[in-house]
Structure 1
Amino acid sequence: MASKIIFFFLFILFPSSQFHLCGAQTLVKAGYWYASGEFPIQDINSALFTHLSYAFADVNASNYQLLIPSASQQYFSTFPTIVKRRNPSVKPLLSIWNGISATGKSIAGENVNDSVLSSMVSASSKRKAFIDSSIKTARRYGFQGIDLFWVWPNSTDLSNIGVLLDEWRAAINSEQRQPAESQLILTLAIRYLPTIEMVSYPIDSIRRNVDWAHVVAYDYHLPTRENFTGLHAALYNPSSNVNTDFGIREWLNKGMPPSKLVLGLPYHGYAWKLVSSQDNAIGAPASGPAVNIDGSMGYKAIKSYIRDYGYGATSVYNATYVVNLLTTPTIWINFDDVEAIKAKMSYVKEKKLIGFKAFQLSNDDNWVLSRAAQGGENQANKQQLLLKIILPVSLIVILAVAILGYVPPEYVRKGIYSMKYDVYSFGVLLLQIISGKRNTCYYGPQENLNLLEYAYELWSDDRGTEFIDTSLDDSSSTCKIMRCMQIALLCVQENPENRPTMLEVFSMLKNASMAATTPRRPAFSLKADKNTGSTSASQQEICSFNDPQISQLEPR
């Protein structure tokens, strides 16, 4: 029996194990590097990211093949190599865009020209030329994936985009690759709303064909087109549907799985010129952009502006909208600072989205925002580390219990105190690991419950999460820990016949879909069972517990 226990823990500890934390997966931490900027590739802290997009390749209006702007040709072939020097596991993506305005600043705003992409998706031959060229170009320069950043398609383009994605995925799947080459990743930028002019995005095709879609959750309000101040990336808005939460919920309601959605994080904000120094509220009258020609300001520039302004100027975090605001008598700036980024990453976790994608990296200030965005995964990493520590330690404890272990109540009633180790002892240990509490103490409101009773009472009242040690608890894996608690309670039931075998325990922990019965009252219970009304027979017969002396050696 002991060998089965050891095998069980080895199974958990090794990477080949199928024992995964519920919902645990690698967080997508992506960002755009803008080739037309002045931020060197070698300055990218690629260790903070899982995916980095080179922005952007264009589309040739004549043959619909990819076109690399002459100004960025020198960077194209070196980008994948350079970002991998610091982080060999980062995946470089080739991002395609055909809507940059003459100033090169407008990303999701007005006056962009998407006619080339519209023409491309409208005909099979044009789509094929585009698809073949994208795959060939990505491979030629060492990119591991392709990203389409087309944020403002016409409503008439949407059905054709679905066809494009079907054909694109088929081409990627059938590509003749070199042995060392992995299949290309395919990602897509999408608007914050799943409809354009009442026409829906091809959600089935997106779900079926892309690895993930990046929600462009910013540029909702721009000073170049509105005469009032507006929040360009509000997570919430009590008075308007123009906010990220509304858009995400619309995508989810229309059938887009959260496991395919990545939240866009803006590393930029916008500055409005106020009409009146007496009115600086959200929605206040404004007379166009401030600070520069279109009001757009990178995070680094905003922080510099605040420092240079002096006189104790500081931004204020608004938790209602999840945004940071800076106001002066004449200027109103809204942007995402560390507080907003952390709140959005909590939102990613809450909605079970799979990560973030920042636009754009050169706007960060010494990687402050990018480090703040790591928070969601850092908690999961902390838990993984704790489990990696706890589980090997528990293996040592298992071996110790095989010698000095907890004694099942039926042994105690017969006066047998031996070296035997069985499923009951395992259940006690598992409850101690989950709770971080000792079994020789008392718990509960009146501190009159032993650990087994305390666990059972919380479980029966649907309050099992209160039992979990706070250092282990995490919303992305609570369901797995709760299943461990259920199995542990099954192991310590009063009647030995109701306890599972170690083989059954092993199977239930290994296979989350395997049914587990509802636990009954544990042994040594002082309180009456809610179902039967009787107290524990072991408690009626035994006055002390879990403190026997070894009086008999009986190897198993």
Structure 2
Amino acid sequence: MSPKISFFIIICFLFNFSFNTPTAKATWVQCGFWYAGSEFPVPEINSALFTHILFAFAYINSSSYELRIAHSDEPYVSTFTHIVTQKNPSLKTILSIWAGREESPNFFSMVNQSSNRKSFIKNSIKAAREYGFHGLDLCGVIPNTDSNMKNMGTFIGEWRAAINSESKSSGAPRLILTMGAYYSPVLDAMAYPVDSIVRNFDWIYLTSYDYYLPTKDNFTGAHTALYDPFSKLNTDYGIKEWIRKRFPPNKLTIGLSFHGYAWTLVDPKDNTIGSPAKGLAITADGSMSYRYIKIYNNSYKATPAYNSTYVMNYFTVEWFWIGYDDVEAIKTKVSYAKEKGLLGYTVFQIPNDDDNWSLSRAAHGIEEDQHDKKKSKLAIVLPAGTLAAFLLCVAMYCVARKTIRSKGSRKLNQRSVDPNLQAFTFAQMQAATDNFSFQNKLGEGGFGPVYKGKLPNGQEIAVKRLSQSSKQGMEEFQNEVTLTVKLQHVNLLRIQGFCTEREEKMLIYDYMPNKSLDFYLYEPARQLQLDWENRVQVIEGITQGLLYLQEYSAFTVIHRDLKASNILLDNEMKPKISDFGIAKIFQKEDNQANTGRIVGTYGCVPPEYVKGGVYSRKYDVYSFGVLLLQIISGKKNAYLYGTDKNLNLLEYAYEKWKTESGMEFMDPSLDDKLSSCKLIRCLQVGLLCVQEKWEDRPSMLEVDSMLKNETALPAPKMPAFSRKFDHSEQGNLSRCEEDCCSINVDTTSHLMPR
């Protein structure tokens, strides 16, 4: 048995012995939303941090009043429960039904007619069972008239009765029934049927955030205020109002927000909560995920402030003010929920808005702290023999880890017999880069910093050094070394060697003087340096590089991280595909394969891989399509476009192609009059590459032919991750699907942010 396995078994035994007591733990709900349009891979959800996960969203059919699933979500909704419960078998999944904003008329048309209610209730229960969910959720409803409130109360009672009856007759566990509600039970003309909600729902979660928005408020607001000495717009007030309406605290969960908002200040010196502002900042609606906020903060090295009066965090970068909840605020709010006797918390949204699960862990940790105080006391008085055994295991693990690292290094050094690959010493790299000086630093990626260097023979090199904080390790390092040395093509970046001395991991490449493609694409001044002739050369080079990887090399390689920053440009602006750390060798006779580990870059990853871990040659075709659209437009895929700023890059490209206004999508500095490669044709090819189903996408051979004007082009279907439905495709759908595909989730922003 290996030392690592022995270590793991002993530790599990010790912790089980030390922390397990017969004391029963009270139910504590730790719930989070997973939004189907988030592009976060389902297999990567850390379900151990939650007791319940809400799948968002299903909708109400406007004609049959049955439950409907958006056509783009159908492949994923049926496997969701199976995937997320693999890591946490006790996890419960709940299918959330959006009935707010633009869906509100459908909901109240349904509840106002007895026959419509029966149709929805029967179908919703059937759908929950069919897709393997443990419960149903109603989200976003605001009853704005007495009639609506009364009919909603009737509907809720009938829904619960039907769920109870179905469970009794089928013998299956009773479905959970939950609801999302506004932070207060009464606000202006709105009132909830509180008595019916108390009787029939297992619990409700409050939208305890978005009290202030930069799109409507001309001051910096505490959008997640737990308390507010000057206003009723705060969570504490809302919860007290629900309790005053005789709503049991143990049927309420507090809402936690994993997003914040950015305002533009009137005066950067006046930068506290409530300071004058003149509108939103940074993003199209001012909203920023916690993950993006942390990246932004790290880039500008701003100093965050914590305000204990409102219980929130904020920082400023020149004219921009950003308010959000960090770890301390989240912990305080979960502690508040415990003190008030609430049932738990519900997060919007995980994991897309979180940063490496740090906020989810913070919330989860509070529950552990408060329920496990007795267990912690036991841990302090562990016998000396147990502690000694623990220390011995740690020593065994450290020795084993060092041995494994040494084996990995020796393995690589054995490969250095290849005359094309040199094993450099640490001293050589130190000298080449002037001791890894800041002046020689070219940039930094997921692997670590990259330095410019010069060998004694005068050859310029690029040195990629693994950082201690990188999530990549020996596996990715070995993968890149072994793959890159075997792949020889003019459009692939050539590796010179590696260095593994002193437990370092460094890769040494040819130096590319013109940086990467993203350096030019998104800055107006630099775009002019990359005219259409140069961009055609880049497109052709990337195409040939991918053709080599998929068709002409000794083995098929799926790159899995094709993006603008991984396309380097030589002194003639010719492209070189780089970074093979997460590439996969693919059998030429295979059509597809699966992986449980989801990697890649958001926005460049196809839906079948994001949702289910399926990858094929069409993975890189999809990434190429995204990149092609960026090359011809000069636009980033992280922003929203269109008149209402509600379309992602792919949707915007498709809309412009569909309305025959494709030139409005293009970088205005480009002129294709003297080129055989036309912009509109590239737009259509790019859209063909990013279609939802991988079977619909062309192969790279077909892409090459299309770009060379050698074949007629078919009409592309709507791109992946679209939130609107193309009615011209209705001929391919059943009658039910026709009724179920007209939704635009992007407008659901009243109770569900962004």
Which residue of 263, 266, 270 corresponds with 1:275? 266
Question: 1:143 — aligned with what?
Answer: 133
CA shift for structure 1 position 130: 1.3
**Match of 1:188, SS?**
strand
Deviations 1:375-414 (A, max 9, x none): 3321243235369899xx9xxxxxxxxxxxxxxxxxxxxx
SS of the residue corresponding to residue 62 of structure 1 reads coil
After superposition, residues 174-213 of structure 1 pair within 5 angstroms as 174-176=165-167, 181-197=172-188, 199-213=190-204
Q: Is the 8 A contact 1:269 1:298 kept in 2?
A: yes
In the other structure, the counterpart of 2:59 is 58
Mark the CA change 1:197 to 1:45 in structure 2 (over 3 Å): closer, same or farther: same
Q: Following the alignment from structure 1 to structure 2, what is the Cα–Cα distance between the partners of residues 128 and 14?
A: 47
Correspondence for 1:432? none
Q: Distance in 2 between matches of 1:260 and 1:48?
A: 21
Q: 1:257 to 1:152 in 2, by over 3 A?
A: same
Stretches of structure 1 lacking an aligned partner (at least 5 in a row) = 1-12, 100-110, 394-556
Residue 389 to residue 291, structure 1, CA distance change in 2 (3 Å): closer
- The structure 2 residue matched to 1:173, chosen from 155, 164, 171, is 164
Question: In the TM superposition, what whole-angstrom CA distance separates every residue of 1:480-500 from its partner, at most 9, and x where no partner exists?
Answer: xxxxxxxxxxxxxxxxxxxxx
Distance in 2, Cα, partners of 1:153 & 1:288: 30
CA distance in 1, matches of 2:228, 2:324: 15
Deviation (angstroms), 1:343: 0.3
1:239 maps to: 230
- Opposite residue 256 of structure 2, the aligned amino acid is L
> Alpha-carbon deviation of 1:219?
1.0
Q: How does 1:496-507 map to 2 (within 5 A)?
A: none
- Is residue 79 of structure 1 aligned with residue 69 of structure 2? no
* Equivalent of residue 296 in structure 1, options 277, 287, 295: 287
TM-score, normalization: structure 2? 0.46
Structure 1 residue 133 and structure 2 residue 134: aligned? Answer: no
Task: Give the direction of change, closer, same or farther, for the CA distance of 1:68–1:317 in structure 2 (3 Å limit).
Answer: same
> Distance in 1 between the 2:74 and 2:237 partners?
40
Distance in 1 between residues matched to 2:374 and 2:168, nearest whole Å: 35
Q: Is contact 1:274–1:331 with CA below 8 Å preserved after alignment? A: yes
Partner of 1:31: 32
State the partner residue of 2:144.
154
**2:372 aligned to which of 362, 378, 382:** 382
Aligned partner of residue 63 in structure 1, secondary structure: coil
The match for 2:105 is 115
Q: Which residue is equivalent to 1:262?
A: 253
| Equivalent pair of 2:326/2:359 in contact (CA under 8 Å) | yes
Q: Decide whether the 8 Å contact of 2:249 with 2:342 is kept in 1.
A: yes
Structure 1 position 178, deviation (Å): 7.9
In structure 2, do the counterparts of structure 1 residues 47 and 67 end up closer, same or farther at CA, with 3 Å as the change threshold? same
Residues in 2 aligned to 1:295 and 1:61: alpha-carbon distance in whole angstroms: 32
* Equivalent in the alignment of 2:525: none
Pick from 330, 333, 344 the counterpart of residue 355 of structure 1. Answer: 344
Contact 2:60 2:103 in 1 (8 A): no
Whether 1:43 and 2:34 are equivalent positions in the alignment is no
> Does 2:362 correspond to 1:372?
yes
Name the SS for the 1:127 alignment partner. Answer: helix
**% of aligned pairs identical?**
51
In the superposition, relative to structure 1, how do residues 182 and 176 fare at CA in structure 2: closer, same or farther (>3 Å)? closer
Of 150-159 and 74-83, more deviation after overlay is shown by 150-159
Instruction: Return the offset for 1:201.
Output: 1.6
C-alpha deviation, 1:74, in angstroms: 1.2
Give distance in 1, aligned partners of 2:176 and 2:263. Answer: 39
8 Å Cα contact 1:345/1:375 also seen in 2: no
Larger Rg: 1
> How has the CA–CA distance of structure 1 residues 305 and 199 changed in structure 2, closer, same or farther, with 3 Å as cutoff?
closer
Q: How many Å separate the matches in 2 of 1:384 and 1:186?
A: 33
The residue aligned with 1:108 is none
TM-score (norm 1): 0.62
Aligned equivalents of 1:386, 1:305: Cα separation in 2: 37
The 1-side partners of 2:374 and 2:199 are apart by: 31
Distance of 2:170 and 2:142 partners within structure 1: 38
SS in 2 for 1:287: strand
For residue 181 of structure 1, report the CA deviation from its aligned partner.
Answer: 2.7
Of 144-153 and 374-383, more deviation after overlay is shown by: 374-383
Displacement of 1:26 in angstroms is 1.8
CA separation of 1:167/1:133 partners in 2, compared to 1, >3 Å: closer, same or farther? same
Q: Give the superposition deviation at 1:119.
A: 1.6
Shift, 1:165, TM fit: 1.1
Q: Alpha-carbon deviation of 1:285?
A: 2.2
Instruction: Choose from 272, 289, 308 the match for 1:319.
Output: 308
Name the counterpart of 2:14.
none
Q: Using the alignment, how far apart are the partners of 1:279 and 1:388 within structure 2?
A: 50
Q: Is the 8 A contact 1:229 1:286 kept in 2?
A: yes
Which whole-Å CA distance do the structure 1 matches of 2:233 and 2:56 have between them? Answer: 27
Q: Distance in 2 between matches of 1:164 and 1:360?
A: 28
Given the superposition, is the C-alpha separation of residues 196 and 237 from structure 1 closer, same or farther in structure 2, using an over 3 Å criterion?
closer
Supply the AA of the counterpart residue of 1:233: T
Taking the TM superposition and a 5 Å limit, the aligned residue runs for 1:324-343 are 324-343=313-332
State the shift of 1:179 in Å.
Answer: 6.5
* Alpha-carbon displacement from aligned partner over 1:270-319 (angstroms, at most 9, x marks no partner): 111122223223222222211111111111011111112x2x31221111
1:99-151 Cα deviation digits (max 9, x unpaired): 4xxxxxxxxxxx64521112222221111111111101000000000011124
Where 2:73 maps in the other structure, the secondary structure is helix
Q: Distance in 2 between matches of 1:357 and 1:307?
A: 28
CA separation in 1, counterparts of 2:379 and 2:200? Answer: 39
**Count of matched residue positions in the alignment of Structure 1 and Structure 2:** 362
Q: 2:167·2:175 contact (CA, 8 Å) conserved in 1? A: no
Q: CA deviation at 1:71?
A: 1.3
Output the CA distance in 1 between the equivalents of 2:26 and 2:239: 20
Q: Structure 2 unaligned runs (5+)?
A: 1-19, 384-754
2:721 aligned partner: none
Q: How many Å separate the matches in 2 of 1:176 and 1:253?
A: 33
In structure 2, relative to structure 1, the CA distance for the partners of 1:387 and 1:169 (3 Å cut) is farther
Residue 194 to residue 293, structure 1, CA distance change in 2 (3 Å): same
Maintained 8 Å contact 2:250/2:341: yes
- Displacement after TM superposition at 1:357 (Å): 0.6
Specify which structure has the bigger relative contact order, considering alpha-carbon pairs within 8 angstroms and separated by 6 or more residues.
1
Q: Deviations over 1:63-110 (max 9, x none)?
A: 1111101111111101000000000000010000044xxxxxxxxxxx
CA distance in 1, matches of 2:48, 2:304: 29
Contact 1:155 1:197 in 2 (8 A): no
State the SS of the aligned residue for 1:56: strand
Is the Cα contact below 8 Å between 1:325 and 1:333 reproduced in 2? yes
Q: Is the 8 A contact 1:349 1:376 kept in 2?
A: no
CA distance, structure 2, for counterparts of residue 140 and residue 290 of structure 1: 44
Per-residue deviation at 1:176? Answer: 4.9
The Cα of 1:25 is off from its aligned counterpart by: 1.3
Q: Deviations over 1:23-59 (max 9, x none)?
A: x512100000010111011110001100001000111
Instruction: Give 2:98's aligned amino acid.
Output: W
| Shift in CA distance, 248/123, structure 1 to aligned 2, threshold 3 Å | same
Which residue identity is paired with 1:121? V
Maintained 8 Å contact 1:29/1:356: yes
Cα 1:143–1:152, aligned 2, differ >3 Å: closer, same or farther?
Answer: same
Equivalent residue number for residue 400 of structure 1:
none
- Following superposition, the deviation at residue 14 of structure 1 comes to 9.6
Q: CA RMSD in A?
A: 2.4
